[in-house]
Amino acid sequence: MGSEPTRVMVAVNGSTIKPYPHPSISSKRAFEWTLEKIVRSNTSDFKILLLHVQVVDEDGFDEVDSIYASPDDFREMRESDRAKGLHLLEFFVKKCHEIGVGCEAWIKKGDPKDVICQEVSRVRPDFLVVGSRGLGRFQKVFVGTVSAFCVKHAECPVMTIKRNADETPSDPADD
């Protein structure tokens, strides 16, 4: 009685098929599975912690076809990237509020597998839920998997949720 809610961290990312603010198939599936199978109607017993990690490309920015003439151009680019992440998180936060489950959401930058594990260490959720594309052994060699890394390195129990077979795009690496 009066105990703290179970804190479930769900790592979410944007789609590689559709532009922001569309979530990836795998992260949307992981989120929906968490609500359907874990939270169900016990909304006061859970708090969803939504983490979005924005990947910084090798040069530190994504707008390689743009021309930059002043420092303000770079600030606007950073604000644009952050806004994309905020729109993505807004999608998930709205869903939480629609069903009445508490949530917190934040954005970090970096390598998703490392940042997710760092945030697990910092925030200490009861468990972590991540989506999985269900790649085969050969594809994993070239693409790598965030979920496999998190299972091995996160300092809490990790649940990996595969996307449904009927949601898999023609290139399974897409999401």
Give me the pLDDT at residue 68, please.
Answer: 59
- The per-residue pLDDT for 95 is 94
Q: What is the pLDDT of residue 116?
A: 96
pLDDT above 60 for 103: yes
Reported as a single tens digit per residue, the pLDDT across 30-64 is 999 999 999 999 999 999 999 999 887 644 444 44
Whether pLDDT at 78 is above 90: no
Q: Do 89 and 52 touch, CB atoms closer than 8 A?
A: yes
Bigger pLDDT: 90 or 18?
A: 90
The contacts of residue 127 (CB under 8 Å, 6+ apart) are: 8, 9, 156, 157, 158, 159
Length of the chain as a residue count: 175
Torsion angle of C-alpha atoms 46, 154, 146, 167, degrees rounded to 10: -30
Tell whether the model's pLDDT for residue 17 goes beyond 80: yes
**Prediction pTM value:** 0.81
Give the per-residue pLDDT at 57: 62
How many Cβ atoms from other residues are within 10 Å of residue 175's Cβ? 23
pLDDT at 122: 97
Among the residue ranges 79-83, 100-104, 119-123, 142-146, the one predicted with the least confidence is: 142-146
Closest CA to 48 of 127, 115, 122: 127
Residues 6+ apart with CB under 8 A from 10: 27, 30, 31, 34, 48, 49, 50, 51, 92, 128, 129, 130
pLDDT single digits (tens) 107-165: 999 999 999 999 999 999 999 999 987 654 544 444 458 888 999 999 999 999 987 77
pLDDT over threshold 50, residue 105: yes
Instruction: Indicate whether 1 pLDDT > 70.
Output: no
Tell me the torsion sign for CA atoms 106, 127, 148, 30: negative
For residue 58, what pLDDT is reported? 45
Q: Which of 74, 104, 69 is CA-nearest to residue 89?
A: 104
- pLDDT for the residue numbered 86: 87
Report d(CA 88, CA 120) in Å as an integer: 20
